[in-house]
Amino acid sequence: MPKSILLVEDEDSIALALEFMMEEEGYSVRRVSSGTDALAAIESEVPNLVLLDVTLPGCSGFEVCQAIRLDDRLKAVRILMMTAKGSSMIRRKGLALGADDFVWKPFVIQDLKTKVRDLLEEAVS
């Protein structure tokens, strides 16, 4: 059974590209475009990894990250946050709230693939 990724990205062109890339890598991908939809999607089916944009409508990626980490049932879920805002403070905040790693947009595709693969390999099934 393929590892599952919940892709949370509100920019459609980025989301489509990421969805295609992750499916090509053999992952099962669900895509939502808001923080509120992300929380609902996680409730309906727990993913192995959440690829999570920081800036989202509804509630922010930070709020989604924190909600995942506060739920004991979701301890095994890996979180990879993404942002176009290149501030080290944003990265520190994401990691402090429980993100497993961080990528900056625009990202190097191979780096993103490697981070996703590494996080999924260390995830507890």
What are the domain boundaries of the chain?
Answer: 4-120
How much is the pLDDT for 124?
52
Segment 24-30 shows an average pLDDT of: 97
Enter the pTM of the model: 0.95
Is a pLDDT exceeding 70 seen at residue 123?
no
Query: Which CATH class, in words, describes the domain spanning 4-120?
Result: alpha beta
Instruction: Determine which of 86-90, 96-100, 112-116, 119-123 has the lowest per-residue pLDDT on average.
Output: 86-90
Q: What is the DSSP letter of 22?
A: H
The per-residue pLDDT for range 68-101, each reduced to its tens digit, is 999 999 999 999 999 987 678 888 999 999 999 9
